[in-house]
C-alpha cells in the first residue's frame, strides 16, 4: 500500500495489518514517507484510534526501529520509571539515586521538555558539565558500577519515536492514547529493563485532563508491558497544581538536592517515596510497598541517595561542587515578586498556566530547536488550601531583565484562584493499576 492508501484507510476507520504498519514506520524512519504524510496519519489515528493488534504492531515497529539494549550482564532486576509529564516534575532526579541506593539498578533514558512540561534532560544539563549524550556502552557500564544512569534518547534507540514525537508536538497530536502509549513504551522497552513504574498524570497541567483518561492510558501501557513480558505498575497522580515550589531547570535541581538531603517539599518527597517503593517491590528489594517506603525514606535521610547522585553527576562529567555550593548552578539576579490581589484562601493553582509562564521566560521550548535558559523560572510560595492576605507574596519570578517578563505575568494572572471560603487540597495519589 502507498502512504496515501494507508492514510486513507485509517481516516476511514479500517484496520491496518501489522505488516502494513511496520513497513509504514520503517519507511518514515528512513525518509521515504514525508513529514506531511506522517502528520496526516497521526491526525487520522487521533480521531479513529487503534485496536489492540494495530497498537501492538506500532509498538513493535517503533521499538525495533533501532537498537534494543541488552542489560542481562548487569546483576539484579533492572527497573525504570516514566512520568507522562507535568509542571515542576523533577521526581526522576531524587528517585533514581534513591532506588539505586537500595540495591535496584535504574537505567533511565529521559526526554527534553516541550511546551509547558519540563524535561529531565534539561534539568540535569543545568548542572555545569553534565553530559546526557553518552554511548550505550557507557550507559551500561555506569548502571553496573553506580546503580543508576540517566541519559538522553540517542539516534540509535527507537529512532522512529524520536522523529515521530517531534512531529506530533507541532501537529496537535500529542494527547492521543495510542500514540502516547507507543512512544513511551517503545523507548522504555528499548532500554533493556525488566520492569517499569509509570507515573500517569491527570489534571490541569497534564496531557490527560481527567482521571478517566489517565486510567485508560495507564491500562493501555500496562497491557503493552504484559504483552512484552515485563512487569508494569502505574500510579495515577494529580497535576492540578505544580509539584513542589520550583518551576525551571536549575531551580528544580536545587529542590531535588534538598529532597536528596532529607528535606524538600512534602509532595516531592511523598511522590519519590511512593514510586520508589513500587520500584523496590518490582526489583525484589522490598517484600511490600510499606517496607519499600521505609527503605526509600531511609536512603533520603541517611545520605546514601545523595551519595549515589554525586557519583552519577561525577561519572557524567558534572561539577560535583555545585551540588554542595548551589550558587555554582545557573542563576539570575532579577527577581519579581507577584503579590495577592485579595485576601482569602487559595482555591486553585493552575499548573498549565505556571508552566506556560515559565516557558515565556525561556525555561522551556516552543519548538524542538529552541534554546533553553537553565537559570530562569518560578518559585510558587503558596499551596491550594492556604489562607492568604492581600499583598502577600504568592510567586517569585526569576527572569533576565524584561525578557519574557510581561508575557509571564500575563500567564500568572490566570494561574491563581482565591476563594472566600476554606478549601480542601486535592489528594496527590489516585488509582493504582497493575
**Which of 408, 287, 390 has the alpha carbon at shortest distance from 345?**
390
- 318 and 336 both lie in a single domain: no
- 155 and 298 both lie in a single domain: yes
Asked about 254 being catalytic, the answer comes back as no
List 65, 126, 183, 322, catalytic entry = 183
Sequence-ordered strand ranges (E) for 316-355: 334-339, 344-349
List 60, 161, 199, 373, catalytic entry = 161
Per-residue model confidence (pLDDT) at position 170:
78
Per-residue model confidence (pLDDT) at position 95:
98
- 12 and 135 both lie in a single domain: no
Asked about 161 being catalytic, the answer comes back as yes
List 116, 123, 168, 399, catalytic entry = 168
Per-residue model confidence (pLDDT) at position 414:
86
Q: How would you write the pLDDT of the chain (434 residues) with one tens digit per residue?
A: 899 999 999 999 999 999 999 999 999 999 999 999 999 999 999 999 999 999 999 999 999 999 999 999 999 999 999 999 899 999 999 999 999 999 999 999 998 877 778 889 999 999 999 999 999 999 999 999 999 999 998 888 999 998 998 788 778 898 899 999 999 999 999 999 999 999 999 999 998 999 999 999 999 999 999 999 999 999 999 999 999 999 999 999 999 999 999 999 999 999 999 999 999 999 999 999 999 999 999 999 999 999 999 999 999 999 999 999 999 999 999 999 999 999 999 999 999 999 999 999 999 887 777 889 999 999 999 999 999 999 999 999 999 987 799 999 999 998 999 999 999 989 999 999 99
Asked about 82 being catalytic, the answer comes back as yes
Asked about 345 being catalytic, the answer comes back as no
List 22, 78, 162, 187, catalytic entry = 187
The DSSP symbol for 434 reads: -
Domain range spanning residue 409? 330-419
- 127 and 25 both lie in a single domain: no
- 89 and 233 both lie in a single domain: yes
Domain membership of residue 432 (yes or no) is no
Domain membership of residue 434 (yes or no) is no
Per-residue model confidence (pLDDT) at position 22:
96
- 316 and 334 both lie in a single domain: no
**Which of 224, 162, 227, 158 has the alpha carbon at shortest distance from 191?**
158
Asked about 187 being catalytic, the answer comes back as yes
**Structural domains in the chain (count):** 3
- The answer to whether the CB of 136 falls within 8 A of the CB of 88 is no
Per-residue model confidence (pLDDT) at position 113:
78
Per-residue model confidence (pLDDT) at position 117:
82
Cα gap 71→290, rounded to integer Å: 29
Residue 225 backbone phi and psi in degrees, to 5: -60, -40
Cα gap 397→378, rounded to integer Å: 5
- 302, 324, 346: which is the final residue of a domain? 324
Domain membership of residue 338 (yes or no) is yes
Per-residue model confidence (pLDDT) at position 241:
95
CA distances to 33, 44, 55 from 60, rounded to whole Å, are 18, 20, 9
Per-residue model confidence (pLDDT) at position 401:
82
Per-residue model confidence (pLDDT) at position 166:
79
List 10, 82, 293, 295, catalytic entry = 82
CATH code of the domain in which 342 resides = 3.90.1170.30
Amino acid at each position: 500500500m502507498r502512504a496515501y492508501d494507508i492514510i486513507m484507510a485509517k481516516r476511514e476507520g479500517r484496520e491496518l495489518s501489522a505488516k502494513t504498519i511496520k513497513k509504514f514506520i520503517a519507511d518514515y524512519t528512513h525518509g521515504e514517507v514525508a513529514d506531511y504524510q506522517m502528520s496526516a496519519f497521526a491526525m487520522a489515528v487521533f480521531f479513529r484510534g487503534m485496536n489492540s493488534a494495530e497498537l501492538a504492531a506500532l509498538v513493535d515497529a517503533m521499538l525495533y526501529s533501532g537498537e534494543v539494549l541488552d542489560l542481562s550482564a548487569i546483576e539484579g532486576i533492572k527497573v525504570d520509571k516514566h512520568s507522562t509529564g507535568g509542571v515542576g516534575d523533577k521526581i526522576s532526579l531524587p528517585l533514581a539515586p534513591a532506588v539505586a541506593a537500595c540495591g535496584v539498578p535504574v537505567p533511565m533514558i529521559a526526554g527534553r521538555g516541550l511546551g509547558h512540561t519540563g524535561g529531565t534532560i534539561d534539568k540535569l544539563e543545568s548542572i555545569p558539565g553534565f553530559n546526557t549524550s553518552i554511548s550505550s556502552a557507557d550507559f551500561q557500564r555506569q548502571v553496573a558500577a553506580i546503580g543508576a544512569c540517566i541519559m538522553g534518547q540517542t539516534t540509535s534507540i527507537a529512532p522512529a519515536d524520536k522523529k515521530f514525537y517531534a512531529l506530533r508536538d507541532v501537529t496537535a497530536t500529542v494527547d492521543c492514547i495510542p500514540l502516547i502509549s507507543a512512544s513511551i513504551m517503545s523507548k522504555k522497552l528499548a532500554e533493556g529493563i525488566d520492569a517499569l513504574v509509570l507515573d500517569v498524570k491527570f489534571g490541569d497541567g497534564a496531557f490527560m485532563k481527567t482521571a478517566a483518561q489517565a486510567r485508560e492510558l495507564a491500562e493501555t501501557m500496562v497491557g503493552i508491558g504484559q504483552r512484552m513480558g515485563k512487569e508494569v505498575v502505574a500510579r495515577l497522580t494529580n497535576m492540578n497544581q505544580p509539584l513542589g515550589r520550583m518551576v525551571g531547570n536549575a531551580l528544580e535541581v536545587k529542590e531535588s538536592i534538598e529532597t536528596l538531603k532529607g528535606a524538600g517539599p512534602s509532595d516531592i518527597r511523598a511522590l519519590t517515596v511512593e514510586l520508589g517503593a513500587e520500584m523496590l517491590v518490582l526489583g525484589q528489594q522490598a517484600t511490600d510497598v510499606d517496607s519499600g517506603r521505609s527503605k526509600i525514606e531511609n536512603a533520603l535521610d541517611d545520605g546514601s541517595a545523595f551519595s549515589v547522585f554525586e557519583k552519577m553527576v561525577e561519572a557524567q562529567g558534572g561539577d560535583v561542587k555545585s551540588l554542595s555550593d548551589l550558587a555554582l548552578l545557573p542563576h539570575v539576579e532579577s527577581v519579581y515578586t507577584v503579590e495577592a490581589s485579595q485576601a482569602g484562601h487559595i482555591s486553585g493553582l493552575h499548573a498549565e498556566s505556571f508552566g506556560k509562564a515559565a516557558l515565556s521566560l525561556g525555561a522551556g521550548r516552543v519548538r524542538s530547536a529552541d534554546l533553553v535558559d537553565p537559570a530562569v523560572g518560578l518559585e510558587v510560595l503558596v499551596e491550594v488550601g492556604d489562607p492568604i492576605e492581600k499583598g502577600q507574596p504568592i510567586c517569585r519570578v526569576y527572569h533576565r531583565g524584561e525578557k519574557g517578563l510581561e508575557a509571564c505575568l500575563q500567564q500568572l494572572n490566570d494561574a491563581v484562584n482565591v476563594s472566600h471560603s476554606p478549601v480542601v487540597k486535592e489528594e496527590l495519589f489516585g488509582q493504582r493499576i497493575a
